[in-house]
A = this chain, B = another copy of it.
């Protein structure tokens, strides 16, 4: 057999299977309670609505759904998204456009390819989304972390990091943030902090990539608490990423980039080589889903479903965890972030926990650089309240056995 691996590009040679993937393989055993993968609730998908949509398509509509589409997305869906972004998210579309992407992971890949020359820096929250970090590295960028408190990125640290990059002659191409219920920490950036972040962005002329997959899934407060940074942006300096994965289905692979028209146009050119077009079948489902009001109904329903799961998780943590362990109290999204005593490493905890048939994701997956790994993520979204309770009880027991 010929060995083709020696023909790989230099960048490919550097790509390694992540430790997390190896760990998660350990966790794929029957009967495991997985607080790991950040998946929406499998028992609540709007399948009846989707069937209703498809069964009502005319032959003409079905032909569009089954044919190639344009690279930027299906026109009527783009129009509907623009209208929704203006009405629900208070974002002005003036001078702006939307491209529909094959999930928001593709949006991250496109933006990374769009902006990054080898060694260019992207600033991310500590901790931040593993898929964004992977994408930045894959497209030759470098990731530098900015610490957060419970109101979001620390602005003094942010400016200090930028200044340090400037001093070192490094280009900071964008600031990546998940202001609503950060994955993995669950932390929400306060409205005040959002303004300050935007000020920094404008002052240094560094765009913000605002990833907002969970913004509709808040369980406390009102819409106003979660208004996107993009709604404050008068300079065209924020690229906003949306997705249908948590408000319809991740299996559809539908996301979008909302940004200045010239940036969106260039993303469209790059997307031609990536996959020609986003699944038209999914796009036509999503359009009807919006038009028939199914999406708003689903969001309302899922807020209740996830609020109960969130409360079950926080209740179980309160009841079972030893006082040496602390955690965030998210007001939305899918995740709680635990901090263990300094001397514990979450990989060690994971190995013991999996023996007891409970899995989670170790914190190092979400840390942009070497960082003490006494942190871990629990996803409460795809488990029953009983399983959440039981899983956390077992994890607490494992931790208690490891305390000094």
Q: Which of A145-153, A264-272, A325-333, A351-359 contacts B (4 or more CB under 8 A)?
A: A264-272
A134 touches which of B69, B259, B273 (Cβ 8 Å):
B273
- Within 8 Å of chain B (Cβ to Cβ): is A318? no
Given contacts A39-B67, A39-B68, are A260 and B51 in contact (CB under 8 A)? no
Q: Is A63 a contact of B51 with CB atoms below 8 Å?
A: no
A105-129 vs B, Cβ < 8 Å mask (1 yes, 0 no): 1101100111111001000000000
Instruction: Give the distance to chain B from A51, nearest Cβ to Cβ, in Å.
Output: 6
Q: How far is the CA of A235 from the CA of B4 in the complex (A)?
A: 10
Q: How far is the CA of A187 from the CA of B202 in the complex (A)?
A: 55
Q: Is B207 a contact of A115 with CB atoms below 8 Å?
A: no
Q: Is B251 a contact of A281 with CB atoms below 8 Å?
A: yes
Instruction: Give the distance to chain B from A60, nearest Cβ to Cβ, in Å.
Output: 9
Q: How far is the CA of A250 from the CA of B259 in the complex (A)?
A: 28
This chain: how many copies in the complex? 2
- Within 8 Å of chain B (Cβ to Cβ): is A401? no
- Within 8 Å of chain B (Cβ to Cβ): is A300? no
Q: Is A249 a contact of B281 with CB atoms below 8 Å?
A: yes
Q: Is A47 a contact of B68 with CB atoms below 8 Å?
A: no
A236-269 vs B, Cβ < 8 Å mask (1 yes, 0 no): 1100000001000111110000011011001001
Q: How far is the CA of A43 from the CA of B64 in the complex (A)?
A: 10
Q: Is B270 a contact of A15 with CB atoms below 8 Å?
A: yes
A275 touches which of B102, B269, B276 (Cβ 8 Å):
B102
Residues of B with C-beta under 8 A to A167: none
Instruction: Give the distance to chain B from A193, nearest Cβ to Cβ, in Å.
Output: 21
Q: Is A68 a contact of B37 with CB atoms below 8 Å?
A: yes
Q: Is B131 a contact of A95 with CB atoms below 8 Å?
A: no
A-B residue pairs, 8 tightest by C-beta = A251-B280, A66-B249, A138-B273, A45-B66, A105-B276, A47-B62, A1-B236, A135-B273
